[in-house]
């Protein structure tokens, strides 16, 4: 059975330029495709989503003011991320996906600067055909609070599921030989190693407190060297995710983590 962890980037499930905005049409489309793919083929799935315009402005504000995530910031970010995740889960359920919210800060912490999660229950849910939904969040660290990115959690979950593959649903069609937002002549790469991709990829120019496409690749190298495989696709391109999940031709980039 094919196993995937799907990361829904904050920039596709929310409008990053508009605080506390959720992109319902895109989410409904993604939900419809995931539900259809689960009906069409045997799949084990988990979903991780980002913070987008719920998480990032909340964390940015306290980092700018204090330089760290303090207690009020952690409390506010936790509340907002739970609210966002509940809405994501609601839309997925409406589309027919057996989605169940898991709260990151209850199962993950930063220990000596490293993300550490207890994902046994999540893996068991996947084994029963449920689709756990977990997210980037504020978590306890050794002496305070930190942000844990969904781009870290995907790999821990992929490992817990038995080396699942990771699908990054982003706002671009894949990895290009230069930033497609800045260069209209950028060429889409069909397949690339994470090391090579680093040559082409910049950070995120927006409100991102967790690092953009570059840090996505670096995090994969940290967690999944030797076994990881990821797909970078455009989450807004209708039926593309369905095609990928059901083994049909799709538009996107395959990334190897050797
Ligand atoms: P986020 O994690 O911020 O919510 P996301 O997961 O959808 O969103 P980002 O981490 O922002 O995606 O990464 C996607 C962005 O990376 C694109 O919008 C693009 O501008 C930028 N980027 C920079 N260089 C490249 C490149 N060579 N190929 C593809 N995208 C690139
Ligand atoms: C960030 O998670 C979580 C918070 C800001 C609280 P991600 O790093 O996974 O979020 P996106 O995908 O960039 O929005």
The model's pLDDT over 232-242, given as tens digits with 9 standing for 90+, comes to 999 999 999 99
Q: Which of 5, 19, 55, 105 to mutate to test the pocket of ligand 2 (most atoms within 8 A of CB)?
A: 55
Q: Distance, CA 155 to ligand 2 centroid (Å)?
A: 15
Q: What is the DSSP letter of 200?
A: T
CATH of the domain at 48: 3.40.1160.10
Looking at the chain, the whole-number percentage of residues with pLDDT higher than 70 is 97
Residue 107, beta-bridge partner list: none
The β-bridge relationship of strands 165-170 and 228-234 is parallel
Q: Encode pLDDT of 166-192 as tens digits.
A: 999 999 999 999 999 999 999 999 999
Range of the domain at 205: 2-256
Cα distance from N-terminal residue to C-terminal residue, the chain: 23
Q: Distance, CA 40 to ligand 2 centroid (Å)?
A: 31
pLDDT at 16 over 90: no
Mean pLDDT of 217-231: 95
pLDDT at 164 over 80: yes
pLDDT at 211 over 90: no
Nearest CA to ligand 1 atom 29: 175
Confidence of residue 258 (pLDDT cuts 50, 70, 90): confident
Instruction: Quote the tokens at residue 215.
Output: 């840090």
| Domain count across the chain | 1
Confidence of residue 212 (pLDDT cuts 50, 70, 90): confident
Q: Encode pLDDT of 36-89 as tens digits.
A: 999 999 999 999 999 999 999 999 999 999 999 999 999 999 999 999 999 999
Q: Provide the 3-class DSSP secondary structure of residue 3.
A: strand
d(CA 115, CA 68): 17
pLDDT at residue 70 in the model: 96
| Beta carbons of 16 and 207 less than 8 angstroms apart | yes
Q: Provide the 3-class DSSP secondary structure of residue 26.
A: helix
Chain centre distance of CA 204 = 15
Q: Is the pTM of this model over 0.85?
A: yes
Looking at the chain, the whole-number percentage of residues with pLDDT higher than 90 is 93
Q: What is the mean pLDDT of the chain?
A: 95
Which sign does the torsion angle of CA 8, 12, 17, 19 carry? Answer: negative
Q: What is the DSSP letter of 226?
A: T
Question: Please, which residues have CB within 8 angstroms of residue 154's CB and are 6 or more apart in sequence?
Answer: 5, 7, 48, 166, 168
Phi and psi at residue 251, in whole multiples of 5°?
A: -95, 125
- What are the start-end ranges of the H helices in the chain? 10-13, 24-40, 52-66, 71-95, 104-107, 120-127, 150-160, 194-197, 212-224, 240-245
pLDDT at 136 over 60: yes
pLDDT at 207 over 60: no
């Amino acid at each position: 059975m094919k196993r995937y962890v799907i990361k829904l980037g904050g920039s596709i499930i929310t409008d990053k330029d508009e605080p506390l905005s959720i992109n319902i049409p895109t989410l409904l489309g993604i939900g419809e495709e995931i539900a259809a793919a689960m009906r069409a083929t045997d799949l084990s799935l988990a979903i991780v989503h980002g913070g987008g315009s719920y998480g990032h402005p909340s964390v940015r504000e306290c980092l700018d003011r204090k330089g760290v995530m303090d207690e009020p910031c952690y409390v506010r970010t936790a509340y907002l991320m739970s609210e966002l995740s509940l809405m994501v889960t609601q839309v997925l359920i409406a589309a027919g996906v057996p989605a169940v919210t898991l709260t990151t800060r209850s199962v993950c912490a930063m220990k000596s600067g490293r993300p550490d999660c207890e994902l046994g229950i999540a893996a068991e849910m996947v084994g029963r055909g449920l689709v756990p939904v977990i997210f980037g969040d504020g978590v306890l660290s050794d002496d305070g609070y930190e942000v844990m990115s969904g781009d870290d959690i995907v790999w821990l979950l992929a490992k817990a599921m038995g080396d699942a593959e990771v699908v990054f649903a982003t706002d671009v069609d894949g990895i290009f030989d230069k930033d497609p937002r800045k260069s209209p002549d950028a060429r889409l790469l069909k397949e690339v190693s994470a090391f090579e991709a680093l040559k082409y990829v910049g950070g995120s120019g927006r409100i991102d407190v967790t690092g953009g496409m570059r840090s996505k690749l670096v995090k994969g190298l940290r967690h999944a060297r030797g076994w990881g495989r990821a797909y970078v696709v455009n989450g807004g391109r209708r039926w593309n995710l369905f095609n990928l999940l059901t083994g049909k031709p799709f538009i996107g980039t395959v990334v190897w983590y050797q």
